[in-house]
Amino acid sequence: MHLFFLFFRKEKKEPSKILANFTGPIKFFWNFIWKCSISKERKEKLTISVFYFGIGLKLFFFYKKEKDWHE
């Protein structure tokens, strides 16, 4: 769980307001998965999905920021 949120910490130089808006719902969904009464295998699959979604979101905003800087 700790590794998941490392991808969503705010940068000190230039905080992304859009990324900060996604952090709250992802934390909520993360807590919901583990408090829910579903099977362990399903929890693991959902956790992996949320983790990869978070990485993809972070990479998307990083790419977008880099692209805007070069134009």
pTM reported for the whole predicted model:
0.41
- Round to the nearest angstrom and report the end-to-end CA distance of the chain: 36
- In 3D space, the residue among 54, 34, 55 whose CA is nearest the CA of residue 43 turns out to be 34
Domain limits, the chain: 24-71
Per-residue confidence at 53, pLDDT binned at 50, 70, 90?
confident
Q: Please check the confidence at residue 52 and state whether its pLDDT lies above 70.
A: yes
Q: Of all residues in the chain, what percent carry a pLDDT higher than 70?
A: 46
Structure tokens at 63: 């790419």
Residue carrying the six token digits 């992802």: 26
Q: Please check the confidence at residue 13 and state whether its pLDDT lies above 50.
A: no
Per-residue confidence at 14, pLDDT binned at 50, 70, 90?
very low
- Better-predicted residue by pLDDT, 17 or 68: 68
Cα angle 39, 52, 56 (rounded to 5 degrees) comes to 155
